[in-house]
Amino acid sequence: MSHVKIWIHAVWGTKNHERVLSKGVRSKLFQHIRENAKEKQIYIDFINGDMEHVHCLLALNADLTIAKVIQLIKGEAAFWANKNSLVKPRLEWADEYFAVSVSESMIDKVRDYIKNQEEHHRKMTFKEEYEKFASKYGFSNNG
């Protein structure tokens, strides 16, 4: 049996940066994402976000790629939200996402960062945050 745990900090936003994820919507959506991920044997340690994006600290296992995990989470969450009329007119995610590995020693710092999203985004927009991440990790921010 293989033993794999690779921590990933993933971030994705709504299509066209639409600010549709109100606090009540986020609460229901994140609870559903956790339940759905658990059913698919995806471990989500922490999830939070703001009006237009989601941060998720998750652990990859030996069977799933980052792309597959993000597809399973985003796709099913939008399907569920739209089936249940959670967002008007409908929830759509942007195609792109951001994902980086996280060392064990940084888990608590990443959790704290994710936990304080509302406070954090009083000072910085999601676009500014995304550009900061892109620069910090050497990604092109053409998306």
> pLDDT tens across 47-93, in order?
999 999 999 999 998 889 999 999 999 999 999 999 999 999 899 99
In-domain check, residue 91: yes
Residue 68 counted as domain residue:
yes
Residue 23: which domain range?
Answer: 6-136
Q: State the CATH number of the domain containing residue 55.
A: 3.30.70.1290
**Residue 1 placed within a domain:** no
- Is 141 within a domain? no
Would residue 142 count as lying in a domain? no
Say what the pLDDT of residue 143 is. 46
3-state SS, the chain, equals CCCCCEEEEEEEEEHHHCCCCCHHHHHHHHHHHHHHHHHCCCEEEEEEEECCEEEEEEEECCCCCHHHHHHHHHHHHHHHHHHCCCCCCCCCEEEEEEEEEECHHHHHHHHHHHHCHHHHCCCCCHHHHHHHHHHHCCCCCCC
What is the percent of the chain with per-residue pLDDT over 90, rounded to a whole number?
A: 72
pTM, whole model, 2 decimals? Answer: 0.88
87 within domain boundaries: yes
Would 126 be classed as within a structural domain?
yes
The verdict on residue 71 lying in a domain is yes
Total count of domains within the chain: 1
